Amino acid sequence: MNITFIGHSAFLLEDGEYTLAIDPFIQGNPKATLTLDQVKARNISAVLISHAHGDHWGDALALAENGAAIIGTAEIGGYAGKNGAKNAIGGNIGGTIQQPWGSVYLTPAWHSSSFPDGSYGGMPTGLIIEFGGKRLYFAGDTALFSDMSLIGEKGIDLAFLPIGDNFTMGPLEAARCLDLLKPKDVIPMHYGTFPLLTGDPHVFAQEAEQRGVKAHLLQPGETLSY
C-alpha cells in the first residue's frame, strides 16, 4: 500500500486497485503540493471524511464527481447527497461501512463539526480503515480520550494523529495516545499548515521512539510504501 501525504490532514491510500482520499483539503491548502486535477487523475474510489470542517471536507464533492463514494456520518452523507454527490454513504459511531476495497468503522472523536456554510456536520469521528491488508486508525481532529484503549485492542498497524495544538492535541498529548492505541507505526498530521498549528513533529517523533513506535514524518507530496 502507498500512502501519499497531500498536506495538513489530507492523504491518499493506494493498493494498486483502489485509491482512497481522506479529508481532502487541497484547494486553499497552503501546504498542498498536489493540485485538485492531479488528485482527481488518481481515479478516486472513495472519499473518507472524519468531520465537516472546511479543512477536512475540502474538495470532497469535486473528487466524487466520477461516482466515488463519500463516506462519513449520516449528516455528512446527507449533505453530500443534497449537494450533488452521486454516491453518498452515511453511517454513525460504532457502525462499520463495508466496501469492495475494505471497510470503515466510525469511532468517537472529541472535537466539533460543521460545514463551511454553517450546516451541522454531525459528531466528529475517527476512522478505522481496513485497506490493503492493514488496519489504520485515522484520528481526525481529536483530543486524547481514554477509550482510545478500546481502539487499540483492535490491533492498529498505523495511526494518523493530529499534533498541531490549539485546535487539536499538541505533540505531548498525541504521544500519550500511543500508550493507549499501541500502534506499530504513526504518522503525525494537522501541524504547520497555519501559524496557530505550532506542534513540533520532531518532539512527537522522539516521544514515539521512546514508546517503541516508528514515526514517519512525511513532507507534503511524499509517498510512504507501507
pLDDT tens digits, 127-159? 999 999 999 999 999 999 999 999 999 999 999
Report the pLDDT averaged over residues 86-100: 97
pTM above 0.95, yes or no: yes
Side-chain half-sphere exposure of 198, counting CA atoms within 13 A: 3
Q: What does the buried/exposed string (b/e) look like for 91-127 if buried means 16 or more CB atoms within 10 Å of the residue's CB? A: beeeeebebebbebbbbbbbbebbbeeeeebbbbbbb
Give the model's pLDDT for residue 127: 98
The answer to whether 125 touches 50, Cβ cutoff 8 Å, is yes
- Rg for the chain (alpha carbons), in Å? 16
Q: What span, in angstroms and rounded, lies between the C-alpha atoms of 91 and 76?
A: 9
Q: What span, in angstroms and rounded, lies between the C-alpha atoms of 32 and 138?
A: 19
Give the model's pLDDT for residue 86: 95
pLDDT tier for residue 199 given thresholds of 50, 70 and 90: very high
| Burial status of residue 43 (CB atoms within 10 A of its CB: 0-12, 13-18, 19 or more) | exposed
Q: What are phi and psi of 131, to 5 degrees?
A: -160, 140
